[in-house]
Amino acid sequence: MAEIRWRFEPLGAEAFAIGESPFRVRGLAYVSVLDYVRHKTPGGFAALEQAFANDPFLPYFNQLFVSLGNYDAAPLLRLFALAARIEGKSVGDFIERRSRGSARLDSAGTFRPLLSAKSLAQLVERLPLAFNRYYEPCRASVGDLDGHGFRGSLDNVPESMNGLYVFSTQGFVGACLEGAGAKNVRFEWQRPGTTGTHSGVRVESLRFNASWR
């Protein structure tokens, strides 16, 4: 089977004014990645602004992001892509690494009550709640849970931005599972299936198997 090519194309002004797409994300995601860029990316945010001075998404990042606020997910994907280019990394790898970092922070902070599970099984059952609070109107669900894995589904995902959700899931879920004792966590994704449109945007379902030992 040919390798799946995930997409990292944020919805631009041709579809919605920047900041107004219906695909939303908690401000916590912006707070986390902007803090990383300012302190870890070579040259900080100033280097990003200089390298991509004419990028139409840049003004969106100059606002104050509130952790529990609701923001457009398209500029977040663009921010990931710009920072990844500065660091010479693939966008997917950059997103996954940042999501792993977010999982560690969230497990000890904002989402501690949700992610402080008594067992791996309980944690897996709670993970969709975390995803659904992060990303709207997308929805996550899990099933067929056993001692070594589960089946997962991400629904109502914008087709052109599916890479954001895939690598965020791998990073966040993978780190949470490892923190609860799972070893060698792996994800196997099926080909996306288009399910219709949301506000005129083609959306799809993403199915995956997660396993560990």
Strand boundaries in the chain, DSSP class E: 24-26, 70-72, 135-136, 139-146, 149-158, 186-189, 193-198, 201-211
Q: What is the mean pLDDT of the chain?
A: 92
Tens of pLDDT, residues 154-202: 999 999 999 999 999 999 999 999 988 899 999 999 999 999 999 999 9
The pLDDT value given to residue 136: 95
Domain ranges in the chain?
24-211
- Give the three-class secondary structure for 198: strand
The pLDDT value given to residue 112: 65
The pLDDT value given to residue 109: 61
The pLDDT value given to residue 82: 96
- Please report, for residues 8, 37, 125, the alpha-carbon distance to residue 16 in angstroms, rounded to integers and kept in the order given: 17, 26, 34
Which tokens go with 145? 């849970």
The pLDDT value given to residue 14: 82
Tens of pLDDT, residues 10-54: 998 788 999 999 999 999 999 999 999 999 999 999 999 999 999
pLDDT at residue 87 greater than cutoff 70: yes
Tens of pLDDT, residues 95-144: 999 999 888 776 656 666 666 777 888 889 989 988 998 999 999 999 98
Report pTM.
0.94
- Please report, for residues 25, 37, 68, 98, 157, the alpha-carbon distance to residue 31 in angstroms, rounded to integers and kept in the order given: 11, 10, 10, 11, 22
- Name the CATH superfamily, with its identifier, for domain 24-211: H-NOX domain (3.90.1520.10)
Nearby residues of 95 by Cβ (< 8 Å), 6 or more positions away: 80, 84, 163, 164, 167, 168, 171
Which of the two residues, 1 and 186, has the higher pLDDT score? 186
Which tokens go with 176? 């949470």
pLDDT at residue 1 greater than cutoff 80: no
- Give the three-class secondary structure for 60: helix
**57, 17 in Cβ contact below 8 A?**
no
